[in-house]
Amino acid sequence: MKKCVIFDLDGTLVHSLPDIAAAMNRSLAKFCLPVYEESAYKYKVGNGVLKLTERAVGTHTEYYRQVLEAYKADYAVNNQVNSHAYKGVPEVLKALCEKGIAVCVLTNKDQADAERVLGHYFPDVHFSVIRGRREGEPLKPDPTGALAIAASLGLTPEDCWYVGDTGTDMNCGNAAQMETIGVLWGYRPREELTASGARHLVSQPEELLELITA
C-alpha cells in the first residue's frame, strides 16, 4: 500500500465553483465588464487566480489588475457561502488518516484561501501538507509542488497517489511519476482525464477509497 495521497482541492474535494463564480462576477461587474454563467467557470478555473482573472477579463486586459485585486478581496471572505464538500469525501479522508496514510493537498488556489476552505469543510481531517499557490513557485501541471510534498514526508514518488479532476492534475501527477487517479464528479469530462493519461478513473469517493487501500 502506498503511504501518501495528494489531492487537488477545487472540483476534487470541494465543489467551490459557486463561490468562485460569484466572487469573480461581482468583481467584473464593479468595472462594468461582462459576467458569466456559473457553468462557464468550469473551464476558467484550475490554473490559479492569475489565469482565472485573465480568462475572465478576456479582451478587457486594461482591467486585469483591478479585477484581480477585487476578486482576491471578495473571495477571501466569501469562500464558504455556497461551496460544499462532495458527498462521501470527508469520510474517505478520515478513513485514510485512520489507516496511517498521509493526506495532502496540492492546489493552484492561493495558500491562504486553501487553508481557509479546507479548515472550514474538513475540520476533523488532519492534512499532512497543504500546498497552495506561493509567489515565485511554479503551479501545476509543473510537478515541483507534488515532488516537494513527497520529499517533505521522506517519501518517493512511487509512494504516492495523485488525485484530481482535470487534465492539469493528471499531467502534474504523471510528470511527478506518481500513480494518477481522475475523479469524475469534478469540473472536467472523462475524455480530458483519459487524454491526459489518468491511470485510473473513479466515479464515487467510495471507489477511490477501495482503490487506494486495495
Cα dist from 182 to 75, 117, 193, 209, whole Å: 27, 22, 6, 13
Is residue 24 within 8 A of residue 49, CB to CB? The reply is no
Confidence of residue 100 (pLDDT cuts 50, 70, 90): very high
Question: Measured between alpha carbons, how far is 32 from 124 in angstroms, rounded to an integer?
Answer: 42
Whole-number pLDDT of residue 54: 98
Per domain, the residue ranges of the chain are 4-15+84-213, 17-77
177-214 as b/e: b if 16+ CB within 10 A:
bbbbbbbebbbbeeebbeebebebebeebebbbebbee
Domains 4-15+84-213 and 17-77 share a fold: no
Question: Measured between alpha carbons, how far is 64 from 70 in angstroms, rounded to an integer?
Answer: 10
Average pLDDT over residues 130-159: 96
State phi, psi for 96 to the nearest 5 degrees: -65, -45
Confidence of residue 118 (pLDDT cuts 50, 70, 90): very high
- As given in the structure block, the three cell numbers for residue 59 are 479582451
37-66 as b/e: b if 16+ CB within 10 A:
eeeebbebbbbbbeebbbbbbeeeeebeee
Average pLDDT over residues 131-154: 95
Predicted TM-score of the model (pTM): 0.96
State phi, psi for 189 to the nearest 5 degrees: -80, 165
* Domain 4-15+84-213 class, CATH top level: alpha beta
Residue-wise pLDDT tens digits, 12-53: 999 999 999 999 999 999 999 999 999 999 999 999 999 999
Question: Measured between alpha carbons, how far is 88 from 144 in angstroms, rounded to an integer?
Answer: 29
CATH code for the structural domain at 17-77 = 1.10.150
Strands 129-133 and 14-15: unpaired
Residue-wise pLDDT tens digits, 44-87: 999 999 999 999 999 999 999 999 999 999 999 999 999 999 99
pLDDT greater than 90 at residue 135: no
